[in-house]
């Protein structure tokens, strides 16, 4: 189950807010105007896992492509950064 801040990160990139709790009413929109509706927020909990998996897959693919282009393994990359 996603947490409120994870749903907000997914739906409200670049929006300034503070929230104290897990409910839509707990969000203090510092821009004064709500960036999303309560329905969008509540629906976001069900969408988050798929979105996160997509993000992780895209990141993994990008990393693999980079390693392939450099012609090194992940372990060799870690060694270079150590």
Partner 1 sequence: MAAGLGFKDFVTGEVLTAADVDGYLMQGIWVFASAAARDAAVTSPQEGNFAYLKDTNVTTYYTGSAWANLDTTGMTNPMTTTGDTIYSSSGSTPARLGIGSTGQVLTVAGGVPTWATPAGGGGKVLQVVEGILTGNVGSASATFADTGLTVTITPTLATSKVLVIASCSSVMKTAVNTNVGLKLLRGATQIFYNDYIAHTGGSVANNVGSVSLVKLDSPATTSATTYKVQMANMAATGTTLINEYAGAAGNTVTSSIIAMEIGA
Site string for partner 1, 23-62 (x = CB under 8 A): -----x-x--------------------------------
Contact 19, 27 (CB under 8 A): yes
Contact 24, 44 (CB under 8 A): no
- CB atoms inside a 10 Å sphere around CB 46: 11
Instruction: Please tell me whether residue 15 binds partner 1 under the rule CB under 8 A.
Output: yes
Task: Pick the piece of the chain touching partner 1 (CB under 8 A) from 21-29, 41-49, 64-72.
Answer: 21-29
Give the interface size with partner 1 as a residue count (CB under 8 A).
18
């Amino acid at each position: 189950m996603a947490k409120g801040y994870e749903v907000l990160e997914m739906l409200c990139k670049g929006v300034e807010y503070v929230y104290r709790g897990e409910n839509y009413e707990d969000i203090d929109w510092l821009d004064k105007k709500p960036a999303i509706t309560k329905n969008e927020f509540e629906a976001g909990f069900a969408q988050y896992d798929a979105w996160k998996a997509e993000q992780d897959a895209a990141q993994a693919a990008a990393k693999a492509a980079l390693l392939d282009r450099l012609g090194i393994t992940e372990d060799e990359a870690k060694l270079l950064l150590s």
